[in-house]
Every structure is written in C-alpha cells, then in structure tokens.
Amino acid sequence: MPRETILIDADDTLWENNVFFERTIEEFLTLLEPSGYPREYARHILNETERRNIRQHGYGVRSFGRSLEETYMKLAGHLAERATVEAIHHRMDELERTPPSILDGVIETLDYLAERHRLILFTKGEPAEQAAKVERSGLQIHFEAIEIVAEKDVRTYRTLVNRHHVVKSRGWMVGNSPRSDINPALEAGLNAVFIPHPATWALEHEEVRTGAGRLLILSSFRDLREHF
C-alpha cells in the first residue's frame, strides 16, 4: 500500500479520557441534589457553562473545574459551602494526575502503522496538559510529529496540511469526535476514519457529514490494520 499520512487524535482515541470527566460529573450532580435541582437540569447548566468557558479559557482540566465551580455556586446559592469548592479543586488535581489508560489494541496497532506510514498525533487542549498526557502515555515514539492546538477546525486542519506537506488524497484523520476529528477533516479535503467511543463528550457530538474525502467507520482502533 502507498505510504499515507495518518493524523491521529489522542483523547478517547488512543486512551480513555472522558470517562474520568463523566465520573466526576456524576459525583458533582449527586453533590447538588440537596439543592433540589433535577440531575438533567443541573447537567444542562453545566454544559452551557462549559461552552461559555471553552470560548474564554479553552479546554482542559482547569477550564472544566472552573465550570463545575461556577455551576455549583449558581445552583447552590446560599447553601454553597467553601469545603465543597475546595473538594472540586482537589478533584481537579486528581484528574490532572490521572495516568493515561491506553485503549485496547492501540500499542500494537501503532507499531504496525508506524512501520508503513507517517503518523502525526493531532490533539486539542491546554498545551502543557496535553503534552504531559502524551509524555506519560509513552506513545510519542510512534509519531513523526505532535501537534497540540486550541481548537480542531477546518482552518487548523488546512494549516497542518500545509505545514507538513500532506497530500490530501493520501491523508487521513483518525478519531472519535464528529465535531473535531471527522467533519472538519473531511471539509478540509482529507479522508477520515471515524472510531466511535461510547463515552464521547456530549459537546463533541454532531451528525457525521460527507466531504471531499473518503470516510471509513470502524469499531475499534485495531481495525486500522485491515485498511492500512
């Protein structure tokens, strides 16, 4: 097979990520129950707060913690307690220290792909936080380059294509997020491999749209070996 350039997402593609945030959110919603708000309503307020904070502060654990704290203060009102805010800060520290849990089949599949193709890790988030995750994962040895950006949109895909001289017809984006991995890559003229993850963050959900490139939908990361 001709040598391809394969861009690969990190969170929830190479390692578990959102499951730890979802676990924290469930604990947080339980914490709010004494305030009398239904869990669905509290989650809605949290989602809206996250959307706003992402625009102002970007992604990452600290932005997430800010959203939890702001949501708590808004909904708890006069019942808010300093100890609870401190507990949120402590939980964020734990999240930052959580080691990457590599998904099944990732290491052997990266070994296989790196011998045949050019691999670029393409992830978004707070630069220092994402870089630390990559380092702790030990997976950086498989990649020719590591790109960490604030947002994965059509513009950043086009910038990456130009920087790394990617031939679009032989370039692929592999990821679990329709919003960040699949739709903008296809719109930028790349091909894409969609590997759904059951715990993909709600704010990353979108209907997968067709684009100029080819689209593969696989059930697991290891299935890449059957196509590349």
Do 53 and 39 fall into the same domain?
yes
Task: Note the pLDDT tens digit of each residue in 87-117.
Answer: 899 999 988 888 889 999 999 999 999 999 9
Number of domains within the chain: 2
Do 161 and 90 fall into the same domain?
no
Average pLDDT of 21-47? 89
Residue 196: the pLDDT is 95
Asked whether the beta carbons of 66 and 28 are under 8 A apart, the reply is: no
Average pLDDT of 184-211? 91
CA distance from start to end of the chain: 7
Average pLDDT of 141-161? 96
Do 195 and 115 fall into the same domain?
yes
Distance CA 104, CA 114 (A): 17
Do 123 and 222 fall into the same domain?
yes
Asked whether the beta carbons of 184 and 154 are under 8 A apart, the reply is: yes
CATH number of the domain that 188 lies in?
Answer: 3.40.50.1000
Residue 215: the pLDDT is 96
What residues make up the domain containing 38? 18-97
Task: Note the pLDDT tens digit of each residue in 42-101.
Answer: 999 999 999 999 888 888 899 999 999 999 999 988 888 898 899 899 999 988 888 889
Do 201 and 126 fall into the same domain?
yes
- Judged by DSSP in three states, 24 sits in helix
Do 46 and 136 fall into the same domain?
no
Q: Which percentage of the chain shows pLDDT scores above 90?
A: 74
CATH number of the domain that 66 lies in?
Answer: 1.10.150.240
Do 117 and 193 fall into the same domain?
yes
